[in-house]
Amino acid sequence: MSEVMVICIVDDDSIYQYAMRKDLQSLEMEKELLFFNDGEEAMNFMTANLIDTKSLPDIIFLDINMPIMDGFQFMEHFVQLKPRLGKKITVYMVSSSIDPEDIKRAEAISEISDYLIKPVNLGELRELVIKLKQSGNS
């Protein structure tokens, strides 16, 4: 993993984006934060930066319900793009949905590391990011 951890938030909720920005900025580590309002914006960025692995995220926090391209549609494209990526990217699906069907659907996608219920508390967020940084698995 590069020294600077690239953390990507894909969510159309500006209040959630603001909260995640504040929480992630509080982490004492070198990081770059990327924000996208829908899956299509995020996918376009990833496709445009395929050969620039330092620009690609190490970790993605992905919402389900978004306009244009939702989280599950993003994952369909991500699975196809994954073999061309020059780095491992860890994806967490983050949603306010507690619908068992959404959870089951997310669990069926091996590229999704976990399903997190909003709001993600700062302690849990910190633990996920620091654990990933220390493991060097991204």
* Domain range annotation of the chain: 9-120
Instruction: Confirm if 138 and 90 have CB atoms less than 8 A apart.
Output: yes
Type of residue numbered 68: I
Cα–Cα dist 136/13, whole Å: 30
| pLDDT tens digits along 1-32 | 447 889 999 999 999 999 999 988 888 888 89
What is the token pair recorded at 123? 């302690």
Are 42 and 8 spatial neighbours (Cβ–Cβ below 8 Å)?
yes
* First-residue to last-residue Cα distance in the chain: 6
pLDDT at 137 over 80: no
Q: Which CATH number fits domain 9-120: 3.20.20.60, 3.40.50.2300, 2.130.10.10, 3.40.50.720?
A: 3.40.50.2300
60-100 pLDDT, tens per residue?
Answer: 999 999 999 999 999 999 999 999 988 899 999 999 888 99
Q: How far apart are CA 17 and CA 105, in angstroms?
A: 24
